[in-house]
Amino acid sequence: MSFRGGAGLQSSRMTTTPTHAGEAPRTVLAAARQGDEDAFRGLVEPHRGELHAHCYRMLGSVQDAEDALQDSLLRAWRGLARFEERSSLRNWLFRIATNTCLNVIERRPPRHLPIGFGKAGDPFASEEVPLVESVWIDPYPDAQLGVADGFAAPAARYERRESLELAFVAALQLLPAGQRAVLIMREVLGFSAREVSEALDTSVASVNSSLQRARKALAGKLPEQSQQEARRALGEPELEGLVRRYADAMERADIDAVVAMLTEDATWSMPPWSSWFDGPDAIFAFLRDHALNGDTWRHVATSANGQAAVGCYIHSAERQCYVPGVIDVLTIRGDRIATVTAFVTPEIFPRFALPESVPLRGDEAA
């Protein structure tokens, strides 16, 4: 049985308020328990978006999150007769999803971003080979998957989009799996310590202890200002203008203009390469010698991990158009760009509803 709901990722947009078990029509729950697949889908579909985001926070991978979600929903389908309604359906589904993710974590190494994992340097000046994709955190199409703004619950400490930002997800992957689950459930989802203890089959004291250790481990690993705070401080019109200027400067190969938009301690990384560029001078040399050395680009604005991003299309003489190349996720500080995380994974463009190609301009076609 498949619970993908049609087209999988891009059909997962959550447009309704999550339904709790006490609010669900009794007849629908009864029908689902009797094997009615449509009734079951009606029960779980309102929760799909936030469950998928939860799995991504736990695992750092969109595909792993999708697989874990499907496994979780299958487990819920098979175990629905055992759902005793002592908690909400939402809490029950999160319990299943969390434990499914914990099982996944046991079977594979944690994911990272190059900064903090590899060393600063020029990967193109050595024999470095790109590391396998499974090493890296990948970008999350929050807009396409319908992640809501604000907090998930009054007791939550982090906003939903804030907890999907690249820096936050990377920091989460450094935590032991149990601490990671506790911190997400308590501080992102706003579950009580008792609810978390029931979900993880442990004591309230153990949950509280794990939360304190997780908080201590994250201290100093997160930026002083989240990207959600930075966006509000800058303003959306100003942010859109910054993204347009960045895209325009890259398309004109105006390296001085690009570097002028960077902070003094800016970094630039390109997973799946582990090396990264540290500081405007190193970034200038990279753009001059590699990215903007003969290649021409076009850009389409998008969003990833609650952050500004652009889909970067490189000119293809063979196809006579611009084809997917890189997704640049921008981390801003003030009115400048502090980090460019350039994901060299063109196969993920469809997740972000980006076009398959960008046509040549009139003067180029001639």
- Match 């994250």 to its residue by tokens: 218
Q: Are 226 and 298 in contact (CB under 8 A)?
A: no
Task: Specify which residues 267 forms β-bridges with.
Answer: 278, 339
Q: Give the span between the Cα atoms of 313 and 302, in whole angstroms.
A: 13
**What's the whole-number average pLDDT of the chain?**
90
Mean pLDDT value of segment 212-230 = 95
Q: Confidence class of residue 318 from pLDDT cuts 50, 70 and 90? A: very high
Q: Residue 120 has what DSSP assignment?
A: B
Q: Give the span between the Cα atoms of 232 and 87, in whole angstroms.
A: 36
Q: Are 241 and 190 in contact (CB under 8 A)?
A: no
Q: Give the span between the Cα atoms of 133 and 137, in whole angstroms.
A: 9
- Output 1-4 pairs: Cβ under 8 A, ≥24 positions apart: 1/37, 1/74, 1/77, 2/70, 3/41, 3/44, 3/70, 3/73, 3/74, 3/77, 4/70
Q: Per DSSP, which regions of the chain are E strands? A: 262-269, 276-278, 297-304, 307-316, 321-333, 336-343, 358-359
Q: Confidence class of residue 17 from pLDDT cuts 50, 70 and 90? A: very low
Q: Give the span between the Cα atoms of 89 and 99, in whole angstroms.
A: 16
Q: Give the span between the Cα atoms of 297 and 313, in whole angstroms.
A: 5
- Range in 2-16, 108-122, 208-222, 321-335 the model is least confident about: 2-16
- Is pLDDT above 80 for 365? no
Spell out the residues 6+ positions from residue 331 whose beta carbon is closer than 8 angstroms to its own.
166, 167, 227, 307, 337, 338, 339, 340, 341
- Is pLDDT above 50 for 11? no
- Output 90-94 pairs: Cβ under 8 A, ≥24 positions apart: 90/18, 90/19, 90/20, 90/21, 90/47, 91/191, 91/195, 91/199, 92/21, 93/44, 93/47, 93/51, 94/51, 94/54, 94/185, 94/189, 94/191, 94/199
Q: Look at residue 116 in the predicted model and tell me its pLDDT.
A: 84
What is the reported pTM? 0.91
Mean pLDDT value of segment 235-263 = 98
Q: Residue 31 has what DSSP assignment?
A: H
pLDDT in tens, 87-111: 789 999 999 999 999 999 999 888 9
pLDDT in tens, 338-362: 999 999 999 999 999 999 999 998 7
Mean pLDDT value of segment 287-312 = 96
pLDDT, greater one: 30 or 140: 140
Instruction: Return the exposure string of 158-176: e unless at least 16 CB atoms fall within 10 Å of the residue's CB, then b.
Output: bbbbbbbbbbbbbbbbebe
Domains of the chain by start residue, with CATH? 1-108 (1.10.1740.10), 227-365 (3.10.450.50)
Say how many Å lie between the first and final Cα of the chain, rounded.
52
Q: Confidence class of residue 171 from pLDDT cuts 50, 70 and 90? A: very high
pLDDT in tens, 266-288: 999 999 999 999 999 999 999 99
- Share of residues in the chain with pLDDT > 70 (%): 92
- Match 């997973």 to its residue by tokens: 271
Q: Look at residue 21 in the predicted model and tell me its pLDDT.
A: 39
Q: Look at residue 25 in the predicted model and tell me its pLDDT.
A: 64
Cα distances from 340 to residues 77, 195, 326, in angstroms, run 42, 38, 11
Q: Give the span between the Cα atoms of 101 and 240, in whole angstroms.
A: 36
Instruction: Return the exposure string of 65-91: e unless at least 16 CB atoms fall within 10 Å of the residue's CB, then b.
Output: bbebbbbbbeebbeebeebeeebbbbb
Cα distances from 310 to residues 111, 280, 303, 347, in angstroms, run 23, 20, 7, 15
